[in-house]
Amino acid sequence: MSEEFVREVDEDIKEEERIKLWKKVFPYVVSVSLGIIIFTSGYVFWNNYTESLNQQLGDDFTAAVQLANEEDLDASILALDRIVDEGSDGYVTLAKMKKASLLIQRGELELGLNIYLDLERNAVDQSFRDIASILYVLNSMDTEDPKALLEKINKLESSQIWRSSALEMKAFLKLKQNKVEEARKIFEGILNLPSTPSSLATRAKNMVDYLKD
């Protein structure tokens, strides 16, 4: 039996183990996605734009979100497009972000990711640009090179607002690379941050416990 054959078998086993691990932790990634979307609309938007945006656009956006909740994605996307065409900067950004998530939900991954890339470069506020980076990474973990995604995330580790979210994404990317011990240490580091949101801290604690097993 050649050394090359043994090495290939060993690599196959490692790849199978990596895939099994990723499938087990993927539900946590989904919960991260939901948490970031809620945080986006709840914290960044209302703190930066509420005072300057008109009520009609607010009603339109609420209606678009309601359509999405009722799984009428086509109608929701049309409503969001109208906001993009007629709205001011804050609502346009939020509408694009929501549209990207709906396109990805509908299976149009590339279109959704392209919106996040555009927002990452051109969104009116740095917080929105940072959110776009996180959401791009989150939704492209299964299709993009983890090393390239880590470069995006590393830039956010110094952010006061997004540091804990960036570290969480970094830990999941390390798991994607089957670097379990590195991922565990990052999750432990999240628990030691003074400003980590409680939901994120809970996920980090669960992952630390899981990875110890």
Residue 82 belongs to a domain: yes
Q: Give the global pTM.
A: 0.72
CA distances 121 to 118, 132, 133, 186, Å, are 5, 9, 9, 28
Domain-located, residue 20: no
Domain that holds residue 114: 25-212
Residue 147: inside a domain, yes or no?
A: yes
Total domain count, the chain: 1
Contact 136, 114 (CB under 8 A): no
Q: Is residue 5 part of a domain?
A: no
- Domain with residue 51: its CATH number is 1.25.40.10
Alpha helices in the chain (DSSP H): 3-39, 46-49, 55-69, 73-86, 89-105, 109-122, 126-139, 146-154, 163-176, 180-191, 198-212
Which pLDDT value is given to residue 22? Answer: 54
Q: Answer whether residue 19 is part of any domain.
A: no
* Across 75-104, average pLDDT: 81
pLDDT over threshold 50, residue 39: no
Contact assessment for residue 176 and residue 140, using Cβ atoms and an 8 Å cutoff: no
Which two three-digit tokens encode residue 207? 């992952």
Round the average pLDDT of the chain to a whole number and report it. Answer: 76
Name the most confidently modeled range: 92-96, 101-105, 186-190.
186-190
Residue 181 lies in a domain: yes
Q: How many residues does the chain have?
A: 213
45-49, 75-79, 190-194: the lowest-pLDDT one: 45-49
